[in-house]
Amino acid sequence: MSPAPEPGGSASLPSPGGAVALLFLVAILFLLGAFPLGALLGEPGLVLSQLLFLALPAVLYVLVRGHDIVRTFSLRLPSGRHLLGGLLLFLGGTPLAWFLAWLQSLVAPVPVEYLEAMAEMLTADSVPRFLWLLVMAAVVPAICEEVLFRGTLLSGLRNGLPAVVAVILSGVIFGLFHASPETGFRILPTAWLGILLAWVVVASGSLPLAVLLHFLNNGAILALMALPLTRELVSGTDDAPPTVLMVGAVIALILGIRLLQGGRSADALSVPPEEVHLREG
């Protein structure tokens, strides 16, 4: 008989193969279930589909397989330093996502009709409507997508791959997951934001911080969509971001990275997540 795995060992986390297999299952469930629910229930169906087909399978997989739920989902609150670092990282990373969207638009035409339809759906004409959009497009996606992509998937990839590779791969998968004939132009910026969120979890050990940043990113887009002066800026990709903005973004990004690293050694990213928790706990 083989010895039982030690507490906190690699068996307490999903395997890379298991995490990827779960993602394929989730993709199938989402494709088969999200559209019927949306057609049947409208916008509440979109919310329900994210809860049922993204978050729930990820949590059930971890529970049924007996993995450590605290380590898999990095359930710890961020320090003040990591919170500030994460905010700076996204303050700098968002304009860079805008730049990537502009670059991709040069080779992948942006479907104007799709953008107009999304802008109409996400534009609030009243406070109750804005609050509902905030729940539908910011709160629920931030929780469900982080649980799946920066929880189960990232932990599984880190359990068998160098953390840098796991961060990049999880971000690329995140971008591809959002791809469709209408949304192909979003692959690069979405993958970039996925990489940033994965880096946040690896560097801070806190999935709640990634949830907060994801919410702030989506919520800021909704707020800008609600204002006529900024609506075109958010929904358009025809122009590259101003050079001054890009310089400031790079500075904010570097400061955010330094704060998130928090004085750890250069090889901190290579430390498996369970060892990070043991060393810091």
Over residues 245-257, the pLDDT tens digits come to 899 999 999 999 9
Q: Are 99 and 243 in contact (CB under 8 A)?
A: no
Q: Is residue 231 part of a domain?
A: yes
Residue bearing the bigger pLDDT, 156 or 233: 156
Q: Are 56 and 152 in contact (CB under 8 A)?
A: no
Q: Is residue 260 part of a domain?
A: yes
pLDDT of residue 267: 38
Residue 250: give the domain boundaries: 72-280
User: Which uninterrupted H or E stretch holds 248?
Assistant: helix 243-261
Mean residue pLDDT across the chain: 84
pLDDT of residue 70: 96
pLDDT of residue 275: 47
**What whole-number distance in Å separates Cα of residue 120 and Cα of residue 165?**
38
Q: Is residue 51 part of a domain?
A: no
Q: Band the pLDDT of 105: cuts 50, 70, 90.
A: confident
The dihedral of CA 95, 204, 22, 37: what is its sign?
Answer: negative
Q: Give me the phi and psi of 81, to 5 degrees please.
A: -65, -45
Q: Is residue 59 part of a domain?
A: no
pLDDT of residue 104: 82
The mean pLDDT of 17-32, rounded to a whole number, is 93
Q: Is residue 62 part of a domain?
A: no
pLDDT of residue 161: 93
Amino acid at 4: A
Percent of the chain with pLDDT over 70: 81
**What whole-number distance in Å separates Cα of residue 92 and Cα of residue 24?**
32
pLDDT (tens digit, 9 = 90+) per residue, 211-235? 999 999 999 888 887 776 666 665 5
Residue 25 confidence (pLDDT) above 60: yes
pLDDT (tens digit, 9 = 90+) per residue, 29-82? 998 998 899 889 999 999 999 999 999 999 999 999 999 999 999 999 999 999
Q: Is residue 61 part of a domain?
A: no
- Terminal-to-terminal C-alpha distance of the chain: 32
Amino acid at 236: G
Q: How many domains does the chain have?
A: 1
Q: Is residue 23 part of a domain?
A: no
pLDDT (tens digit, 9 = 90+) per residue, 107-137? 777 766 766 777 777 777 888 999 999 999 9
Residue 99 confidence (pLDDT) above 60: yes
pLDDT (tens digit, 9 = 90+) per residue, 171-210? 999 999 987 656 666 788 999 999 999 999 999 999 999 9
- pTM score, two decimals? 0.86
Q: Band the pLDDT of 271: cuts 50, 70, 90.
A: very low
Q: Are 53 and 25 in contact (CB under 8 A)?
A: no
Q: Is residue 15 part of a domain?
A: no
